[in-house]
Amino acid sequence: MKDVTGDRRAFLRRAFGGALDHVARATEERLVQRRYVRPPGALPEIAFLTACTRCGECAAACPPAAIRHVAAEGGLAAGTPYLEPDQVACVACPDMPCAAVCPTDALIVPESGWAGLRLGRVTFHPDRCITFRGEACAICVQACPVGPAALVLDADDRPVLKLEGCVACGVCVRECPTMPSSLTFAPLER
């Protein structure tokens, strides 16, 4: 016998999935005044705001104490956890203790871990990097918790940022000795 229920679900998903995504994005744009960089494993913003109880467990479990909480003036987001990787870097803990302790699943440890997960976007600025002026430096590469999948030195001992592997944790941004940093962080655009 043919699985009619599965076919019906697939049909409805194809027919209305895009419309529901559009409605969710439009609702989020109206309700959320500021975009926050959420801890790893966060649900989409509206679902996150609904699920998060503002208990603080994620912040307590964060080894570098990188998780902050939105101030009372933050409207619907007040009390929710967020990151500012260019200020206090997330160290990309392999086991994501912040998400693992979340009692409500507002934060969920993805099955694939950090693979494909991005907190934001890091940009490398060669014009600021001292290796392009002939000085030896590998601080960003040595500090990167992701390793060669995200940041390596090329044959000339200059940093090469691999966007496909970079999780945008902010460690390289904070550790770079140049002023301003040769690496910058930006939140993802949604």
Question: 151: phi > 0 → left, psi -120 to 50 → alpha, else beta; which?
Answer: beta
Q: Point out the domain boundary residue: 95, 115, 135.
A: 115
Identify any residues that bridge with 173 across adjacent strands, giving them in sequence order: none
Q: Residues 116-168: pLDDT tens digits?
A: 899 999 999 999 999 999 999 999 999 999 999 999 999 999 999 999 999 99
Residue 61 has pLDDT above 90, yes or no: yes
Per-residue pLDDT, 82? 98
pLDDT of 3 over the 70 cut: no
Rounded Cα distance between 164 and 103, Å, is 31
Of 115, 137, 165, the residue that ends a domain is: 115
> Do residues 111 and 160 both lie within one domain?
no
Across the chain, mean pLDDT equals 89
The residue assigned the tokens 């002026």 is 133
CA-angle at 172, arms to 118 and 112, nearest 5°: 30
Beta strand ranges found along 9-71 (DSSP E): 68-69
CB-based burial of residue 127 (10 Å sphere; 0-12 exposed, 13-18 middle, 19+ buried)? Answer: exposed
Domain assignment of residue 157, given as a range? 120-187
Answer with the residue of higher pLDDT: 21 or 189: 189
Residue 97 sits in the same domain as residue 134: no
